[in-house]
Amino acid sequence: MRGEGRSTGRNGLRAASGARPFSAPRWFAVWQRNFQVWKKLAGPSILGNLADPLLYMLGLGYGLGRLLGEVQGVPYLTFLAAGTLAYSVMNSATFETLYSAFSRMHVQKTWEAILNTPLTLTDVLLGEWFWAVSKSLLSGLAILSVIWALGLAADFAMTLWLLPVIVLTGLAFAGLGLMLNAVAPNYDFFLYYFTLFITPMVLLSGVFYPTDALPGWLAAAAQGLPLTHAIALARPLVLGHWPEAPLLNVLVLLAFAVTGFLIGLALTRRRLLR
Amino acid sequence: MPPLVLKRLTKRYGGTAVVDDLSLEIAPGRCHGLLGPNGAGKTTTLRLALGLIEADAGEIRLLGHPLPREAGVARRRVGVVPQTDSLDPDFTVRENLLAYGRYFGLGRRETEARIPQLLEFAALAGKADAKVPTLSGGMKRRLTLARALINDPELIVLDEPTTGLDPQARHLVWQGLRRLIHQGKTLLLTTHFMDEAERLCDRISIIDRGRIIAEDTPRALINGHIEPHVVEVFGEGLAAWEGCARRLCRRCEYAGETLFCYADDPKAVTDALDRQEGLRYLHRPANLEDVFLKLTGRDLRE
């Protein structure tokens, strides 16, 4: 428990300070709370988060794929797979940190209840951040399983690198989501985020078509978007070659993740603990 | 050692001092009440005392720990019953307690061993597997109280613990709080209800505009600030009788259509009133509400 592990003795609180064989970080209790709730509602949640992108990928991949033939030298379905993976990971992290986190923070007052315990706001937001990433990982793994099952990937070993890409993408979008959540007055507010940021980004970042189809200035603007960098990492790994500028892609995603989280933390502190 | 010491605490929001040079010391094993009109600074004082927000000036010691620096450690031995319902609606009663235990670092087995006793305390035995939305308002409050006890705290902080409850439910919560006081716990509670404060609290601080304007035992507050008897007079011809009232009573004041007469000798007042056609009255001993209204005024605080 972060150096605060002195036993307070006398009233059975020893467990709070390390009676367990190893002491989990404090944010883990927040993660666990979300996991326990998710377990109860897993059915519809899995269907919504996982089946939806798969249907799009397979529908568009086979349907449009027949018309398009090959894109960048591979069948359209193969081209689309990496885009769908990144898109799906982004969606999971975004929905979890916008709508679900907002319910817990604003509607159910779950965060306020937790803040009355030894946990701090940093613990709460770390728990939420990592929880959203866990859900992203689940979405990403579902798409990845289909990629494996359909034999879309050129090199299996290389697709294992998609796992850290999924986590990194989840961290970036969950960080941004927590930032938005901190300033949201109500659920409707999130529509601005989707309409003004997420949707244009999906169209510009190369989910459905190569970005070189875009006018030069738009393609340049797309370089500032996190999803572009997630796809720049994911697509080559599916197609069986190394990304061109992996370090840049990783750094951009990390920057979005850390900046989003830290600004989100500061704004949430101002909102709840002023 | 006093469980909570606030020393010359000030908290400003946009230039207004919501808590204004406030000092307070809570005695161990006692129930201390914070009384005050809406916006008096009660909830802000509690949030400061828990280390949730930072004061602009002053010192806080919670269970010996300086705040906000050691808030996390101090809160391990504190239970909190917040004003608004914050139970997890997706969880059952038992799951709510288990999740809350985890925030204190309690293992599943440890919390589970405590649950039957907590449910019995909260009169929720047999409800362990009930979903939160199916509970009544009183049950939810009692579960919130049980949740605050999951870590066997030394100090329990309650923000308006019975607001919104019907009389039966309030009495049940009071019984629980008395049991806690009996067990030697220290309680700090805010309330609007004077009868609640009078029943439960060993000591009361009346807060207004961020300052403590009076502090004592309930009895001493009543004896020290107000005449022992109150006659509330209303009905036809009240204005004409007012002069008589002012002669017979130490203090009279209007609230709406009612004249509150504060008197040392109520007999003289009621005898005079018995001779008046059209006037009706209610004679009662002075209570904490009279003290409260005298000190904080009768204006609405909204």
The answer, yes or no, to whether residue A223 has pLDDT greater than 60, is yes
Give the gap in angstroms from C-alpha A23 to the nearest C-alpha of chain B.
9
- Distances in Å between the Cα of A112 and the Cα atoms of A107, A116, A244, B113 are 11, 7, 45, 26
Residue B108 at interface with chain A, using a CB cutoff of 8 Å: no
Q: Give this prediction's pTM.
A: 0.90
CB B116 within 8 A of CB B124: no
Mean pLDDT, residues A125-146: 96
Q: Which letter does DSSP use for residue B213 in this model?
A: E
Six-digit token pair at A267?
A: 């704004």
Which pLDDT belongs to residue A213? 81
Neighbours of A173 (CB within 10 A): 32
Which pLDDT belongs to residue A50? 76
| Those residues with Cβ within 8 angstroms of residue B104's Cβ, 6 or more apart along the chain or in another chain | A13, A16, A117, A118, B76, B150, B151
Q: Report the first-to-last Cα separation within chain B, whole angstroms.
A: 38
- Contact list in B for residue A110 (CB cut-off 8 A) is 86, 88
Residue A105 at interface with chain B, using a CB cutoff of 8 Å: no
> Which of B102, B150, B180 should we substitute to test contact with A (largest number of A Cβ atoms within 10 Å)?
B102
Of B53, B72, B100, the CB nearest to A274: B53
ipTM of the complex: 0.90
Of A11, A32, A112, the CB nearest to B77: A11
pLDDT band of A48, cuts 50, 70, 90: confident
Mean pLDDT, residues A194-207: 95
Q: Are strands B155-159 and B186-191 parallel, antiparallel or unpaired?
A: parallel
Mean pLDDT, residues B179-190: 96
Of A1, A108, A115, the CB nearest to B88: A108
Taking one residue from A and the other from B, the number of pairs with CB-CB distance under 8 angstroms is 97
The answer, yes or no, to whether residue A19 has pLDDT greater than 50, is no
- CB contact under 8 Å between B75 and A120, yes or no, is no
Q: Which letter does DSSP use for residue A25 in this model?
A: P
Which pLDDT belongs to residue B55? 96
The answer, yes or no, to whether residue A255 has pLDDT greater than 90, is yes
Residue B125 at interface with chain A, using a CB cutoff of 8 Å: no
Q: Tally the C-alpha atoms within 13 A of residue A79's C-alpha that lie toward its C-beta.
A: 20
Mean pLDDT over all residues of chain A?
A: 90
